[in-house]
Amino acid sequence: METTRHVTATVYVVHPNDDGDAVALHEHDKHGLWLAPGGHVERDELPHETGLREVREELGFDVELVADRDDVESETTRSLPQPAHVQLADINVTDEGVGHQHVDLIYYAEAPHRDIDPEPGEQPAGHWDWVTKTELADREEIPPDVSEIGRRAIRTVAES
């Protein structure tokens, strides 16, 4: 079986709050998994641009990435925001093998507020939760990798 791979970008959006820092997650319609905003990198996009676009579409606001950049550049090259994680996710698994995978570049960002207002065609605001560090550890429906990356994102944004 031939495996198709697509490059995707995901952004763990954190909002610091006196009631507890939290990350925005939703139960994905198609995959039934709790995930952060993200999607496929389009032909004319760089991965970090995809992440920012997906946040704007899915959450309804702009964010700034919390990401390092290399200081090595030249006349023909420039540094891009570095993802915090790079994962290979199996999307379509059958008895014959893995048919589809995502090479997912994962970033962190800080939200300006918690008011979610998705663009038309996106999952409604009521499908999103702001999930605290404690809830990430306690909620069994959240996959272990999403829980761990969410906790790391909260910690990183708090320290930035």
pLDDT of 32 > 90? The answer is no
Confidence of residue 70 (pLDDT cuts 50, 70, 90): confident
- Count how many Cα atoms sit within 13 Å of the Cα of residue 66 in the half-sphere of its side chain: 17
Lowest-pLDDT choice from 1-5, 74-78, 154-158: 1-5
Instruction: Please give the model's pTM, rounded to 2 decimal places.
Output: 0.93
Q: If DSSP codes are grouped into helix, strand and coil, which group holds residue 99?
A: strand
In this predicted structure, the answer to whether residue 114 has a pLDDT above a threshold of 70 is yes
pLDDT of 16 higher than 70? yes
Domain boundaries, the chain: 4-159
φ/ψ region of 108 (left if φ > 0, alpha if ψ in -120 to 50, else beta) reads: beta
Name the CATH topology of 4-159.
Nucleoside Triphosphate Pyrophosphohydrolase (3.90.79)
- Cβ neighbours for 118, distance < 8 A, ≥ 6 positions apart: 57, 58, 59, 60, 124, 125
